[in-house]
Amino acid sequence: MSGKDLRRRAQRAVADTGLRRALAAATDHLALQRGRAIERLENFDDLRRAARDVRTATLARLPDVLATLADRITAAGGHVFFAADAAEACRYVADVARRHGARRIAKAKSMVTEEIRLNHALAAAGFEVVETDLGEWIVQLIGEAPSHVITPAIHLSRGRVAEIFRDHGGEGLTDEPATLTAFARRQLRAVFLSADIGISGANFAVAESGTICLVTNEGNGRMVTSIPPVHIAVVGLERVVETWSDLGLVLSLLARSATGQDLTAYTTMVTGPRRPGEVDGPDELHVVIVDNGRSGILGGAYREILNCIRCGACLNVCPVYRQIGGHAYAAAYSGPIGAVLAPLLAGGAAGELRLASSLCGACYQACPVMIPLQDMLLALRRDAAPQASRVERVIWALWSRAWSRPRLYRLSTRLAGAGARLVPSRLVPRWGAGRQVPRPPREESR
Ligand code: SF4
Residues of the chain with CATH 3.40.50.10420: 44-295
CA 51 to centroid of ligand 1, rounded, Å: 12
pLDDT digits (tens, 9 = 90+) for 139-163: 999 999 999 999 999 999 999 999 9
pLDDT (mean) for 330-347:
93
Please name the residue whose Cα sits nearest to atom 8 of ligand 1: 311
* DSSP SS3 for 247: helix
Span 44-295: which CATH code? 3.40.50.10420
Q: Is there an atom of ligand 1 within 6 Å of 250 CB? A: no
Q: Which of 152, 97, 164 is nearest to 124 (CA)?
A: 97
pLDDT (mean) for 58-73:
98
CA 256 to centroid of ligand 1, rounded, Å: 12
CA 336 to centroid of ligand 1, rounded, Å: 8
**322 CB neighbour count, 10 Å cutoff:** 19
Q: Which of 286, 288, 342, 335 is nearest to 312 (CA)?
A: 335
Report how far residue 364's alpha carbon sits from residue 60's, in angstroms, rounded to the nearest whole number.
22
How many angstroms from the chain centroid is the CA of residue 51?
Answer: 19
pLDDT digits (tens, 9 = 90+) for 263-304: 999 999 999 999 999 999 999 999 999 999 999 999 999 999
pTM: 0.90
Phi, psi of 286 (to 5 degrees): -120, 135
| Higher pLDDT, residue 412 or 173 | 173
> Which range is least confidently modeled, 84-88, 250-254, 411-415, 426-430?
426-430
CA 308 to centroid of ligand 1, rounded, Å: 5
For the CA of 311, the closest atom of ligand 1 is: 8
Query: What is the pLDDT, as a whole number, of residue 395?
Result: 87
Phi, psi of 278 (to 5 degrees): -80, 145
Phi, psi of 172 (to 5 degrees): 75, 5
Write the DSSP symbol of residue 90.
Answer: H
Report how far residue 56's alpha carbon sits from residue 41's, in angstroms, rounded to the nearest whole number.
23
Q: Is there an atom of ligand 1 within 6 Å of 311 CB? A: yes
Q: What type of residue is 47? A: L
Helix axis angle for 17-39 and 3-15, nearest 10°, is 90
Pocket test for ligand 1, best of 34, 111, 149, 257 (most atoms within 8 A of CB): 257
CA 222 to centroid of ligand 1, rounded, Å: 25
Task: Note whether 231 and 224 are within 8 A (CB).
Answer: yes
**Cβ within 8 Å of residue 368, ≥6 positions away:** 47, 48, 51, 253, 254, 256, 257, 309, 311, 313
* Side-chain-facing half-sphere of 182: CA atoms under 13 Å: 7
Report how far residue 19's alpha carbon sits from residue 9's, in angstroms, rounded to the nearest whole number.
13
Pocket test for ligand 1, best of 367, 373, 377 (most atoms within 8 A of CB): 367
Please name the residue whose Cα sits nearest to atom 3 of ligand 1: 367
Q: Is there an atom of ligand 1 within 6 Å of 369 CB? A: yes
**Quick check: 237 pLDDT over 70?**
yes
For the CA of 336, the closest atom of ligand 1 is: 4
pLDDT band of 425, cuts 50, 70, 90: low
CA 167 to centroid of ligand 1, rounded, Å: 35
Query: What is the pLDDT, as a whole number, of residue 446?
Result: 57
325-334: burial string, b at 16+ Cβ within 10 Å, e else: bbbbbbbbbb
